[in-house]
Amino acid sequence: MSVEIEMEDGGGLATEEMTLNMGPQHPSTHGVLRFIVKADGEVMRKATPDIGYLHRSIEKIAEKVGWHGFMPYTDRVDYVAAMACNQGWAMCGEALGGIEVPRRGEYCRVIAAELSRICSHLLAIGATGMDIGAVTPFTHALREREMINDLIEELCGARLTYNYMRIGGVAWDLPPGFRKRVTTYLDHLEPTIHEINDLLSYGKIYAERLGSVAVISPEMAIGYGLVGPNLRASGVKYDLRKDRPYSVYGDFDFDVPVGHGEMGAVGDCWDRYMMRIWEILESAKILRQACEKLPDGPVIAKVPRNFKPPAGDVHVRVEAARGDMSWYCVSDGSEYPYRLHVRTGSFSAMSIIEELSEGLMIADLVALIATFDIVAPEVDR
């Protein structure tokens, strides 16, 4: 019996486009994301993201629960690095109400936010390795993350959804001996990061797997509104903590690392992955300085329980773990916010995928999502 093989006109095997559904329950999609992939063999023609599976109408909830009452909900916007979301909301209220946060309160915020950033980046590093096929480094990263969770638990009683900040400051002062434990932890963390570099980042297989994959030019990144580490990986040196300092970030000396194409091209997956490693080391620098310079005084300003900021609108930007988180908040002078809109880093990152996916391998889509460090609830809110 002979098998007839269909051939293309120019020779070679005939192929046809197929439509695949990836997600929403796919292990590599970091939560609940769905892609409709049009592919010819292993090469994608287009991957169309379909989002909204985790839409919890957080912005609508803000209109219903009041200014103070919304704080725990902000934890759910990006639950992997919730401190920055706490801070964004607190800053909205403070800007509208004209409230000045005591300096010690600001320092507590910086310490909490940077711990939370390290925590989030460790997860990103581990998860990227795991998505690419290196399972062991994930356990190393999570081991380190657990220690931060312990520290943050001391600070606010929660390990994931912190609800630590308040409009006007923070809920609790640092517990006794906390600063010492943070610096002890950093002494342990910095060598561990180099260990992760030896184990994972500079490994030949890993670096070649991620180098030159899914390269994003700076123009494309800016046009799509990519932010944070994903933007800086493309070589754009912009960090709100440095370029538009809020809170007390102006007091600290730290660098803003950018991607420089060490393993291929600027703005490839390896650069995006490596941004997290570099940023952990910078956050450690900020933490050490904040622990040393911590001033005395109260941690929260006097804010009325029935907080009614004057009518007006405000646009607050916070450098979260996934970049510039933009909060647009409108007050009508009542005890409930009139409107809140949050543009998150993952949302912009998801929107670029459709254009970027053309010509990528399906396996590279996984690398792309992992190195974007997309957190699905942050996309959908």
The residues that touch other proteins, with contacts defined as CB under 8 A, are 51-52, 55, 57, 59-60, 95-96, 220, 222-225, 236, 238, 243, 310-315, 317, 324, 326, 328, 330-331, 338-339, 341, 343, 347-348, 350-352, 355, 380-381
Q: How far is the CB of 81 from other proteins (least distance, A)?
A: 19
How far, in whole angstroms, is CA 27 from its chain's centroid?
19
Q: How far is the CB of 224 from other proteins (least distance, A)?
A: 4
Closer by beta carbon to other proteins, 172 or else 238: 238
Closer by beta carbon to other proteins, 62 or else 269: 62
Q: How far is the CB of 47 from other proteins (least distance, A)?
A: 15
Q: What is the β-pairing status of strands 169-170 and 165-166?
A: antiparallel
| Amino acid in the structure at residue 233 | A
Under a CB-based contact definition with an 8 Å cutoff, are residues 36 and 24 in contact? no
Q: Quick one: which of 280, 250, 320 has its CA closest to 77? A: 320
CA distance 235 to 254: 17
Closer by beta carbon to other proteins, 63 or else 251: 63
Closer by beta carbon to other proteins, 50 or else 187: 50
| DSSP 8-state assignment for residue 200 | I
Q: Quick one: which of 119, 345, 137, 128 has its CA closest to 232? A: 345
Closer by beta carbon to other proteins, 30 or else 104: 30
Q: How far is the CB of 55 from other proteins (least distance, A)?
A: 4
| DSSP 8-state assignment for residue 28 | G
Q: Quick one: which of 109, 119, 103 has its CA closest to 170? A: 109
Work out the angle at residue 257's Cα, subtended by the Cα atoms of residues 375 and 227, and round it to the nearest 5 degrees: 35
Closer by beta carbon to other proteins, 78 or else 380: 380
Under a CB-based contact definition with an 8 Å cutoff, are residues 299 and 169 in contact? yes
Q: How far is the CB of 344 from other proteins (least distance, A)?
A: 10
Closer by beta carbon to other proteins, 7 or else 311: 311
Q: How far is the CB of 37 from other proteins (least distance, A)?
A: 17
Q: How far is the CB of 20 from other proteins (least distance, A)?
A: 20
User: Which are the contacts of 84, defined by CB distance < 8 A and separation ≥ 6?
Assistant: 78, 113, 116, 117, 318, 319, 320, 321, 325
Look-up of token digits 């060490």: 262
Closer by beta carbon to other proteins, 15 or else 48: 48
Q: How far is the CB of 143 from other proteins (least distance, A)?
A: 36
Q: Give DSSP secondary structure letters for 113-133.
A: HHHHHHHHHHHHHHHHHHHHT
CA distances from 240 to 160, 316, 323 (A): 24, 11, 9
| Amino acid in the structure at residue 236 | V
